Chains A and B, each alone.
Chain A
Amino acid sequence: MLYQLRNVSKRFTKAKETLTIFDNLNMDIPEGDFVAMMGPSGSGKTTLLNILGGIDKVTSGEVSFAGNRIDGYSEGQLSEWRAANVGFIFQFYNLMPMLSAAQNVELPLMLTNLSGAKRKENVATALNIVNLSDRAKHYPREMSGGQQQRVAIARAMVSDPQLLLCDEPTGDLDRTTADEILTTLQVLNRELGKTIVMVTHDPEAARYAKRTLHLNKGVFEDKMVMA
């Protein structure tokens, strides 16, 4: 099992008021899964994704990744863990505007010991997979939304992580472009065995996944949350 969440609670305390996002949430995600997570705005999808990605902390409960408890990791340990295991894809692409497509894709490789030549090779491969080899030298402002998202996908997978976490990756794109992006994700899942968790509003998008979970007020409305 890649992920195991046990009795996970998340609360925000602000001005003596406590807001509970989840209470005793349980979830399993096997390796090679492609999960779509749906739910109304404010239901906690992004928060859950951030917890899975180790950029947000649980208030209580256990989060295990490949058998290791990551909920107790320090900032530094989480940093290294993310670099090695997780690729993130955001709704608004979040590319670095001052870097070219190739440089954006190379960023995660700066955290590895790979040689310059090997890095170049990996960047080229990643850009090739998302079909953007001819845009390597272009800057984000010179590319369409769909192209920028493909660069972001290349950046997320260039260091070959097991897991891709996507927060509304097609939320800002038209139908055709969205379908292209989703097809790319599907290929990554099917051909390269990447485990994907994707938050989305779009029922069409959810169809590309192997299964869909519905989150409402911090509770899954589905039966098959646990493996």
Chain B
Amino acid sequence: MNDFTIIWKNLFRKKLRTTLMLIAIFVAFFLYGMLASVGQAFDSPGSSDDKNRMVTLNKINFTQFLPISYYDRVARVKGVTQASHSNWFGAFFQDNKNVIVSFAVDPPTYLAIYKEFDMPDAERKAFLGDRTGLAVGRAVADKYGWKVGQTVPISSNIFSQKNGSHSWDFKIDAIFDNSKVKGRDGLMIFHYDYYNETVSFGRDNIGLIVFSTETPAINDAVAKNIDAMFANSPYETSTDTAEAFSKSFIAQLGNIKLIISLVVGAAFVTILLIVGNTMVMAIRERTREIGVFKTLGFSGQRIFTQIVAEALLLSLLGGLLGLSCAVPALLLINKISAGAISGLTVQPIVFVKGLGWMVFLGLVTAALPAWSAMRLNIVTALGRK
């Protein structure tokens, strides 16, 4: 027998009480793991983007179009090494609940910029050469069980074909992964030409122009030049880094981080009070036993350490279990959303911070009872029946 035996047996002497505390801590850290990871995902939406990747949009907002002619002009701006364009398609598969992030793009230039979309050479070649071809991100392909070679009807909640149909048939030529950020492949792309020739309205319009600069150092100057070029035209532009664009896009979803902090904070304060109060009660019930330990010759410090260790053990058990369960839960969300919220995993930073909070919880809830146990007078303790 060693001190750990005593600590462990003390912790589980009242199984129901300890179980309830463990559940409270579990729930709080499960919530924390989930929400902090979601917050983290929103915090770094541009991390897959290169620093020299930039985006030109209609100045009014990102739902407004630009004429395709702007693409050629941006491509020729000094400092721009590679340009492409894309168009939000508003796609869904069969049921309009099955929303799929998808863009009508110019495939050769688009894939030259988005080098992280990684597909086998043969599939890439097939996709580039097939006007009605579709390149599907792994998450989407997995969700719908799609294979290369299959033809799928994709509908749009914005556009329709000249023949009145809302649905386009695409042949799946390629399935790609994101080689830079694992799992950030919940999207698909197809040929702008196919879309532009068949669409019933909005011909020769594009949603945005994406391009690479020679070096991030000239980003600001290039942006200024481009926006100046189109100033006072019917379609004024706004140019910024792709990373900044993603961030501002997210900002429109509301201050998610603040809400997350409030929810997690409230849960945390609640368990702090519950566990703190329960620890005080639990140790008070043991007053006499603590008196006996001291009578036997156990020092006040040793008893202090035992109680702190007991509280740490409690919060680490509940907390680590909660954080660990957040991992499969996020995987599930990832699967259901087909990667729409990209990069959703419990990141190491969330784990480390969580561990810090567990230690904090253990120390704070143990502090008062451990201190009074250390100071406890033996005669007083033994006198209490």
Contact = CB atoms under 8 A, between A and B. Distances in A.
Nearest to B10: A98
A111 B294 CA distance: 11
A98 B9 contact: yes
A99 B9 contact: yes
A208 B368 CA distance: 46
Chain A: interface secondary structure?
helix
Interface stretch (B128-136, B190-198, B295-303, B328-336): B295-303
Given A56-B379, A99-B6, A110-B1, A94 B288 contact: yes
B378 interface: yes
Given A50-B379, A55-B378, A103-B5, A111 B298 contact: yes
A96 B289 contact: yes
Interface string A79-112: 1101110001010101011110001001110110
Contact of A94 (B2, B292, B379): B292
Given A96-B289, A110-B1, A79 B294 contact: yes
Nearest to B288: A94
Contacts of A97: 13, 289
Interface in B343-385: 378-379, 382, 385
Contact of A53 (B6, B9, B295): B295
A145 to B, nearest CB: 15
A75 interface: yes
Interface in B15-39: none
Given A82-B295, A94-B288, A110 B379 contact: no
Given A50-B379, A55-B379, A96-B289, A88 B295 contact: yes
Contacts of B6: 96, 99
A67 interface: no
B274 to A, nearest CB: 22
Nearest to A96: B289
A203 interface: no
Given A55-B379, A98-B13, A108 B292 contact: no
B10 A79 contact: no
B304 to A, nearest CB: 13
B3 interface: yes
A106 B1 contact: yes
B377 to A, nearest CB: 9
Given A56-B379, A96-B292, A110-B1, A83 B10 contact: no
Contacts of A84: 297
Nearest to A155: B296
Nearest to A57: B379
Interface of A: 50, 53, 55-56, 75-76, 79-80, 82-84, 88, 90, 92, 94, 96-99, 103, 106-108, 110-111, 155
27 contacts: A50-B378, A50-B379, A53-B295, A55-B294, A75-B300, A79-B294, A79-B297, A79-B298, A79-B299, A82-B296, A82-B297, A83-B296, A88-B295, A90-B292, A92-B385, A94-B292, A94-B382, A96-B6, A97-B13, A97-B289, A98-B9, A98-B13, A99-B1, A106-B1, A108-B297, A110-B2, A111-B298
Interface of B: 1-3, 5-6, 9-10, 13, 288-289, 292-300, 378-379, 382, 385
